[in-house]
Amino acid sequence: MRDSSDNLYTMVGKFLSEGNAVVYAVGGSGGRGGIRIPRNQLVNRMYSKIRQSGLIGDVEDYIRTGALKIMDVREIYSSDLVGNTATMLGK
């Protein structure tokens, strides 16, 4: 049975196979009741899901070379400042 993420992984795999770099930003909450998941656990979980899908060949090589970067969305976007634009990279 196909997972709803399969289309996303297929698209990411296509971009990577064409020589493009991809930043995959994943949400920082999940599970029951929207429990916050620690950053490293979230990134590891998404890596495992992508790898298990089998839709992106040689995930490790893409990550090693920097072509694929899996990040917690909290690392690249913050809307903490009301009326201000996104604060990039937690700064």
Q: pTM here?
A: 0.66
Q: What is the DSSP letter of 89?
A: G
| Residue from 53, 51, 52 nearest 68 by CA | 51
Largest CA distance in the chain: 44
Residue-wise pLDDT tens digits, 22-49: 998 887 655 555 567 777 787 888 888 8
